[in-house]
Amino acid sequence: MSHTAEITLGERTGKRVVVVCGECGRPTEHEVLVDVDSYDKTPDDEIRFWDNYLTIQCRGCKTLSFCIESSNTEDINPAGGSTHHDEDFVPRQDSRTPSTARSPLPALGPAKGV
């Protein structure tokens, strides 16, 4: 996503979708908690890009997932008009190790120069 992208809230917030849950290991109903749409294009307006970012929650186990849907004008079939789009589901990362930082985060204080 570039700094020129148009960002809007999508229309699927609160709706339900069926996807494979990474925790349940099978297709389950998920609720769309947040839907953000992004639109961008090349400077010459030749290629256009659409990205949708979804935060979803399994209605069974309550696991949160993040989904990115992407498509662009290069994916459009001129003969049939149908498009191809990619969907990537980012699974929860249980394998992450805890921070080994030895010092706590600095305390927040008043802003300097105010």
Question: Is the pLDDT confidence value at 109 over 90?
Answer: no
Q: What token pair was written down for 92?
A: 């929860």
pLDDT class of 114 with cuts at 50, 70, 90: very low
C-alpha count within 13 angstroms, C-beta hemisphere, residue 7: 7
Backbone angles phi, psi at 46, to 5 degrees: -80, -40
> What percentage of the chain carries pLDDT values higher than 90?
26
Q: What is the pLDDT of residues 29-59, one digit of tens each?
A: 999 999 999 999 988 988 888 889 999 999 9
- pLDDT at residue 2 in the model: 52
Model-level pTM? 0.63
Question: Is the pLDDT confidence value at 79 over 90?
Answer: no
- The rounded distance, in Å, linking the Cα atoms of 27 and 61 is 12
- pLDDT at residue 76 in the model: 72
Highest mean pLDDT of the ranges 8-12, 89-93, 109-113: 8-12
Place of tokens 């570039």: 2
Question: Is the pLDDT confidence value at 84 over 50?
Answer: yes
Please say whether the beta carbons of 18 and 30 come within 8 A: yes
Please say whether the beta carbons of 27 and 6 come within 8 A: no
- The rounded distance, in Å, linking the Cα atoms of 56 and 17 is 9
